[in-house]
Structure 1
Amino acid sequence: MNFFELLLPDFSLILCGYLLCRHSALNRQVWDQVDRLVYYFLFPVLLFHSIIKHPLDWQAARPLMGAGLCMAAAGIALAYSLPRWPLLGNRIERRLHAAGAQVAFRFNSFIALALIDRVAGPAGLPLLALLIGLLVPVFNIGAVLPMARHAGGRLSRELARNPLILATASGLCANLLGLQLPDGLTPTLTRIGQASIALGLLAAGAGMQLGAMREGKALSLALLTLKHLGLPLLALLMALLWQLPELPTRVLLMFAAVPTATSCYVLAARMGYNGAYVAGLVTVSTLLGMLSLPLALGLLVHW
């Protein structure tokens, strides 16, 4: 299977979003509203619907949850440890590291949800939703801790109000209770899901910025290498250790290899750090995803 050709249509939408934002009347102000629409309504509906319509085998899902948590913990630990690495540590400015460490382990849920059907089919979406619900709080805490001096106690409120976590949690509860949605709602919910994928990819492209990356070149290289090489290798290692079947392995590898979250630079700027530097990292990560995703998924050829 040629994974690059498989993913090219979705990355083409990212490019379209970038070009529309920079070279048309659909400027940054328009895409800020699209971001909110996708994040607060379209993607939560997609997550909830995907979970409730596919009953989960919880016994079978436990190894994937364990592998995902171990991968997340290892990725966060590696990102935190960079200032202590020989030859690298004395070249890292601590405030830049505090702001940028999150880039090495967070993920772009827009791109992940858009790609999952192509990569793993309909059965992969509930597994991805489970990983999102499980790991979004872990990664958000990991992102904030290095910048904790400016956190001001807002983390717990943000997690409690995160629409992706709320949609996943409510969908899982409904799944456990065996609840079903009326058949008449299915066409509407399906169309909302389709709209969320296209708009999410366009918004991801519109959010790319070539920020101030002249400083912290060694740190940038280390963080992006961890994100696009280290994390997929960790995912493969955890899949082996937890003896995951082919489908959960595919989902975990894709999850690890997608670009970092576009909200990284928003969080850094809001907490008083160098948002422009982090925006540059996010942009390069989005571009690198075009290489890391096909390479990571190509590992399954020899699975």
Structure 2
Amino acid sequence: MEGVVGALGPLFLLILLGAILGRGPWPGGDFWPRLEGLIYYLLFPAMLLATLAEADIQAVPVARLALALLGAMLVLGAGLWALRRRLGLDTPAFTSVFQGALRFNTYVGVAGAAALHGPTGATVAAVAVALMVPVVNVLCVLTFLAAGTLGAGGVGKSLAALARNPLILACLAGIALNLSGLGLPGWSREAVGLLGRAALPLGLVAVGVALRPQALLRRDAGVWAANLIKLAVLPALVLSIALLLGLDPISRDVALLFAALPTATSAYILARQLGGDAELMAALITGQTLFAMLSLPLWLRLAA
């Protein structure tokens, strides 16, 4: 347990630092939105590209990892739709609960995998991102579409945004460079690697900046349902599948880590833009991030 807490503790301290900085007067202005854009569009894609282009992907059990992560995600996504009426949520609230239950904070996931298992963990995490990001985005867009919140032109815009997603494009480029045998030639290897190394600490600080403590006052059925699924049911299901499939300890830990992550801070922007319940989404992001500081080490300790 001390090893897990020792690995994850510094990550949570950076998130708390971001929460403190985000409430203060400095640096002020539009610094934080611009920084988040820099991380999302440049630094984090650089990290994924550098990792996947040089990694030994063949050593990662991709098919079993996909079955554990994507299988659990699809099962719970379908279950949420089956329980929609019983939850008693209006349409905007349901789309936010769906995002809160299935989306994951990529920054925390990759940083946690690297802290726990070094470069090998980072490689498995990059593969997990390549598998999960397209699927979770498609599922959420389909949910907004089925719920009727996208409007007339919303479908095309959402699909176009999905095709331009920098994380998806970076994963595809990294895998293509890896399979071609080119890797990152010359100075590009160090340059892209340096950019990538800046992504995780700044990304964790940005997670803290995005927290909204006042949103924790919300305590309706949607909050409890999403938190229960995200922090308890999904990790339990993924861990069970991983054990049944006989995943190696590193792949199992990374799969469990990604399943137990708090929801993504970007889900708030999507909820606001696509007709979801933005206040509920803020409550889910903040609550899950804080609760995950306790639940993540417990899940990883249980797996060990």
Range that drifts further, 144-153 or 164-173: 144-153
Deviation at 1:210, TM superposition (A): 3.2
The residue number in structure 2 matching 1:4 is: 5
Matching residue of 2:25: 24
Q: Which of 185, 189, 195 is the matching residue for 1:186?
A: 189
* 2:98 counterpart (82, 90, 101): 101
Q: Is the 8 A contact 2:60 2:124 kept in 1?
A: no
* Letter paired with 1:17: G
Give the letter aligned to residue 283 of structure 2.
G
In the alignment, what sits opposite 1:111? 108
Return the alpha-carbon distance in structure 2 between the equivalents of residues 215 and 65 of structure 1. Answer: 34
Question: Is the Cα–Cα contact under 8 Å of residues 10 and 115 in structure 1 kept in the other structure?
Answer: yes
Q: Secondary structure of the equivalent of 1:57?
A: helix
The aligned residue for residue 127 of structure 1 is 124
Question: Residues 149 and 276 of structure 2 are in contact (CA less than 8 Å); yes or no, is this contact kept in structure 1?
Answer: no
Counterparts of 2:256 and 2:159 in 1: how far apart (Å)?
29
2:262 touches 2:288 (CA, 8 Å); kept in 1? yes
CA distance in 1 between partners of 2:60 and 2:211 (Å): 40
SS at match of 2:223: helix
Pairwise CA distance, 1:146 = 2.9
Please, which moves more after superposition, 150-159 or 274-283?
A: 150-159
State whether residues 211 and 279 of structure 1, in contact with CA within 8 Å, keep that contact through their aligned partners in structure 2.
Answer: no
Cα distance in 1, alignment partners of residues 60 and 232 from structure 2: 30
2:237 matched residue in structure 1: 234
Q: Which residue of 2 aligns with 1:160?
A: 163
Mark the CA change 1:59 to 1:215 in structure 2 (over 3 Å): closer, same or farther: closer
Structure-1-length-normalised TM-score: 0.91
**1:274 Cα deviation from its structure 2 partner:** 2.3
Runs of 4+ more than 4 Å apart: 211-216
RMSD of aligned Cα (Å): 1.9
Letter in 1 for 2:76: G
Any gaps of 5 or more consecutive residues in structure 2?
A: none
Structure 1 residue 28: deviation in Å? 6.6
Code of the aligned partner of 1:295: L
In structure 1, the residue matched to 2:174 is: 171
How many angstroms does 1:111 deviate by? 1.2
Distance 1:24 1:215 in 2: 26
Q: What CA deviation, in whole Å up to 9, does each residue of 1:197-227 have, x standing for no partner? A: 1110110100111355656612211110110
Aligned twin of 2:76: 75
CA contact (8 A) 2:227 2:288 kept: yes
Q: Matches of 1:156 and 1:73 in 2, distance apart?
A: 19
Task: Write the distance in 2 (CA, Å) between the matches of 1:37 and 1:260.
Answer: 20
Residue among 279, 284, 291 paired with 1:281: 284
Distance 1:26 1:8, change over 3 A: same
